[in-house]
Chains A and B, each alone.
Chain A
């Protein structure tokens, strides 16, 4: 009877199972950590792209002459005047414009043939996106509007 039992036992031993489980656990911890990190980076990357896209959109509207300003009703948002006077609110964005900038064009690089442009607007768009772990990603783009 003993011989038959011992001969018929062809499955994993307890030791094998324990070792296997242990290895799988270790590997899983490493992989989960890396995977989580990747996910975080992917989300951050996506947020960055959204920030750039938002800022670019606001700047293009500004350069086209559309009215762009910080929202007076929604804190931390930019208002863009759309067709027909409707207002689009872009959250988590800040608009600043410095109208005192003076730029000087030196034609052919010559200091004698110049034209000075005053009242140039320096426009700065700051967009924010909350990413995972409550960290904030900011993107700031500057443009001059002579």
Chain B
């Protein structure tokens, strides 16, 4: 029996094993595929859930950006309306108001645009902004990137370990615009020009120098008083006073009479050929140690000078025009001379200096000369002391010798000649006192620029450097470039 079994060559087990193997392989393969498919379905479900959460976040940020841009457009509409209103009102009374509204609206738009650029949309070189959404869980921040021709919004979400990303391309079409802001305005240009005016001093006014001397107050005349007309040493000249006459009651030559006029003196400044109250050259006082040895019209100005040094000679060249100096005071040491050359005149205008020397002082026993090259009276010493000052304290004492080819006009100052004075011209003062040797050869100026005798009215020609302002209408244009004005927004979702 055993032998027989050994001889058997049965194949049942082998066949079973082979079948078993084949079925096992098929089953295992099927199981693997099904298992994979099953897991994939779960992942797919989670990914789908994650995608829609991510998409929700992107959609939310997209909507928020859209609202911000709508706000920007609302500001832009206000700007447009303001521009329309401004253009309609140009040149009208409301021009300025609408202009200011225009500027304000433009400023508001720029502010809003700057806010969008800085916080909402990465416009320009800025690459990425990350916005977060509160209220949706399992979603990260929404990244807003500036890509070519669009903005890309993307967000990721993870559900049960499965992640998904939602991407939205947001095309914002913009219309860069340049606004031209026109503004009608005026432009004022100032130039310094010479303005010439003429003033006529009536012949009966003392300021016309129609007398050898004229005293608004009293006179005190003593020895050797000669008042003659110019060109004659024997023809007596007239002189007048208003107050009390004292001293020697007779004079050698001259007709001194009392004047009953009560007219107030002409303002000293009005005798000047330049209105120093407005002329730009006399605005600022310059402090100097001494005057230039040669004075011309180029030196016209306002000077503060302590005193004229001893033994000083000046040449006053008037060939280029009148020389007009405004001084705070004029004080002489010994021996000074001014010699006027040229056809015009030399004016010394002494304004109130608040001193008691009357603005014109002679310190020593001096010999002061104001001469001219042709012996014509070409010097005007004009002293302005305010009426409120006491005449007695504004006393000008000429201590020794004065030679003057010209005029003194000091209607508020007391003038005392202590010794010798020779005047070819005329003297006008508040009080006049002459102790010895006052010789006046009367000569009346014809006008501001001519000399010579004769009576009648005087014409003062005033040429003044004056700032003249010219106002012209000007239209200014300013361009404002607004680079981002959103026109339309379109959205395209990228595939999952």
Contact = CB atoms under 8 A, between A and B. Distances in A.
A42 interface: yes
Interface string A63-86: 100000000000000000000000
B31 A34 contact: yes
Interface residues of A, number: 52
B55 to A, nearest CB: 7
B145 to A, nearest CB: 14
A142 B34 contact: no
Given A115-B67, A144-B59, A13 B8 contact: yes
B64 A34 contact: no
Interface string A1-17: 00000100011110011
A120 B15 CA distance: 69
Interface string B297-313: 00000000000000000
B59 A146 contact: yes
A55 B224 CA distance: 137
B24 interface: yes
Contacts of B141: 109
Interface of B is mostly: helix
A37 B38 CA distance: 12
Interface stretch (B45-53, B174-182, B369-377): B45-53
A55 B48 CA distance: 9
A110 to B, nearest CB: 7
Quick one: which of B119, B134, B135 has the most chain A CB within 10 A? Answer: B135
Interface in B27-76: 27, 30-31, 34-35, 37-38, 40-42, 44-45, 48-49, 52-53, 55-57, 59-61, 63-64, 67-68
A115 B403 CA distance: 96
B13 A143 contact: no
Contacts, number: 141
B60 A113 contact: no
Contacts of A141: 48-49, 52
B12 A16 contact: yes
22 contacts: A13-B10, A17-B12, A23-B16, A31-B23, A38-B27, A42-B34, A44-B38, A45-B37, A46-B41, A48-B44, A49-B44, A52-B44, A101-B135, A102-B135, A104-B133, A107-B119, A107-B129, A107-B131, A139-B45, A141-B49, A145-B56, A146-B63
* 7 A-B pairs closest in CB distance: A144-B56, A105-B64, A103-B135, A48-B41, A143-B52, A38-B34, A104-B134
Interface of B: 4, 8-10, 12-13, 15-16, 19-20, 23-24, 27, 30-31, 34-35, 37-38, 40-42, 44-45, 48-49, 52-53, 55-57, 59-61, 63-64, 67-68, 119-120, 129-136, 141
Given A48-B41, A107-B120, A145-B56, 15 more contacts: A13-B10, A19-B13, A20-B12, A20-B13, A23-B16, A38-B30, A38-B34, A41-B38, A45-B34, A45-B37, A45-B41, A105-B132, A107-B131, A120-B60, A141-B49
